[in-house]
Each structure stands twice: as structure tokens, then as C-alpha cells.
Amino acid sequence: MGFVDYVSQNTQALLFSAQQHFLLVAIAVGMASGIALVLGVVLHTNQLTPESWSRSLRVGSRESLLLVASAALTVPSLALFGLLQPALGLGVTPSVVALTIYGVYPVLRNVAAGLSSVDTAVLESARGMGMGSTRRMLRVQLPLAWPVIISGIRVATLILIGIAVVAASVSGPGLGQQLFSGLARLGAVNSFNQVLAGTLGCLVVAAVYEIAFAVIGRFTTPRGIRV
């Protein structure tokens, strides 16, 4: 059976797997982004942190957290899914948790870089206008850092699209089921078609996310700093 025939006969199943893959990545990226934004803001070197915290302590805490997050990103995906399975079982839960762990570092790194890139003169001007630390963060720093932050979210999303395939090892949803099934039966009827369909499906999901990020970036970036 040719690839086109295989796709035409399995369109519904492939679309369902692609939707699962898309949603799995979306949930994990959303959770990772929320965690990274909160940690990045709290540990950033501004007055949102307690006065008793020295600048060196805040910077050290941020860099230590980045180190831990980057170390988590180096753990082989198959190993992490296997380690989570005894505690979380099979299916969606270990898949989301593992992908969230992998998604934190790219976003956190860009949150830290984006907030640090805001010109101190701009912050001093905001302070002179009577803005407190919270207002400066919400109305000045985060909007100016947003292009860098959304770039980190985009990178995390693309990384997780690939890693989400491995979720099939713990019966997770998505296109990984097609790939794993095809690879396990390589040489049998339609095995290559399954692998190719799963691979192309991931590319389609990535393309949809790229379009979505282009639109989101366009409408959420302040007009004065659009490129």
C-alpha cells in the first residue's frame, strides 16, 4: 500500500493523534511557562524580592535554579519517562509531568535574559513617575521583555513536540504511537507508512505552532518595540 493510500484510509486516526499531540504539548508548555515566569520574576534582581535578600543571593539563587533546570533537560527522555512511570502510572499524567520538566529551562532562561535586558534608565524613569516595584514589573519590564520570553516559549514548544513522541513509551497520547508501532514492526506491511505518517504529523504540528506564535507575537508585543 502506498503512503497516500495509507493516509487516506487512516485519516481520522491520524488527525486524532495529531490533536492529542498538539494538546499534550500545549498543556506542558503552558505549565512550564507559568512555573518559569513565576520563578524568573521572583528571583530577578529587583525589589519584588524581600529587602533582606542581597543582590548576590538573588543572582545566585537564579543561576542555581537555571543550573538545575538545565541539568533536568539533559536527562534522556526515555529514562525520565521510565522513572516517572512507577509513581505516576501510565498515560497522560507522566507524559505531562515529564514534558513540563523539559520545558522549564528554555522559558526560564529567556525570562531571566529578557528581564535583565531592560534598560535601567527606563526603570529609573518609571520609578520617578511613582511606580512601585510591582507596577514597574507588570507595566514596564514584562512588556519590554516579552519578545525574548515568547521566543523562549516557542523554542520550548518545538523541543517538546519531538520529546512528546517518547510519551508513547508510557502509553501517552500523540503521534508517538504511530512511530513506535511502525518501528516495532519495521519491515512488515505499512510499518514504513506508520513511521512516515508520525514524522510528517510532528512537522505539521510544529508548523501550526509556528503560525500561532507568529500571530500571538504580533498581537501581544507592544507596538513601539515590534521588529
Each of the 227 residues of the chain gets a pLDDT tens digit; together they read: 788 888 889 899 999 999 999 999 999 999 999 999 998 888 775 544 455 555 666 666 777 888 888 888 899 999 999 999 999 999 999 999 999 999 999 999 999 889 888 887 887 787 778 777 778 888 888 888 999 999 999 999 999 999 999 999 999 999 999 898 888 887 787 889 999 999 999 999 999 999 999 999 888 887 766 55
Distance CA 146, CA 169 (A): 35
- Res 190: pLDDT: 82
Tell me which residue of 20, 9, 25 sits closest to 194, measured CA to CA. Answer: 9
Residue with cell 501550526: 208
The domain 3-225 having CATH identifier 1.10.3720.10: the answer here is yes
What are the b/e assignments for 173-203, b being 16+ CB within 10 Å? bbbbbbbbebeeeeeeebebbbbbbbebbbe
- Res 53: pLDDT: 55
Residue 50's alpha-carbon distances to 53, 62, 66, 115, in angstroms, are 6, 15, 20, 18
Residue with cell 512488515: 188
Positive or negative CA dihedral for 199, 202, 203, 204?
A: positive
Q: Is 19 helix (H, G, I), strand (E, B) or coil?
A: helix
Identity of residue 137: M
